[in-house]
Amino acid sequence: MTRAPRKTIDGGKATLELRADGIVHLAWIRDVRIEEPDARAAMKAVDELCQEDSHPMLVDMETTEAVSRSARSVFSIPCAAGCGDPLLSGAFNGLLANFFLGVHTPPCPTRFFTSRNEATVWLLNPASVS
């Protein structure tokens, strides 16, 4: 697997890279407020990176301050990556994860983790983490 270099998403609120293990890693910057245009720019960048290839995706929202309702809707639209797996931690983000899953149906299998290692293991072999 060829690694794609990390690139900054339009708007400057996140970075995106294709890691050597085949995982697409979308990382939002600290204390960011994600609005619909930010979510659309991120999903467009994922589509451009993946093109026709399906990849598991790690979405790192560990230090995200807020995600608007319209941005959450964008994250419910299928993209080129085969799977989204937000990595969240902290009480606020745990509430955000529960709210997201309660209101939106993700387009692919989605799990929320507080451990990047557990998230990576699950992405590479979903049956390995119960």
pLDDT tens figures, 112-121 = 777 888 888 8
34-37, Cβ contacts within 8 angstroms, sequence gap of 24 or more: 34/61, 34/64, 34/66, 34/67, 34/68, 34/71, 35/68, 35/70, 35/71, 36/68, 36/70, 36/71, 36/73, 36/74, 37/11
CATH code: domain 4-125 is 3.30.750.24
pTM of the model: 0.76
* Cα 117 from Cα 130, distance rounded (Å): 14
Which residues lie below 8 Å from residue 5, measured CB to CB, with a gap of 6+? 17
* Cα 66 from Cα 1, distance rounded (Å): 34
Q: Any idea where the domains of the chain sit in the sequence?
A: 4-125
Predicted pLDDT of residue 15? 95
Question: φ, ψ for residue 22 (rounded to 5)?
Answer: 90, 0
- Per-residue pLDDT tens digits for 26-47: 999 999 999 999 999 998 998 8
Most confident of 32-36, 55-59, 70-74: 32-36
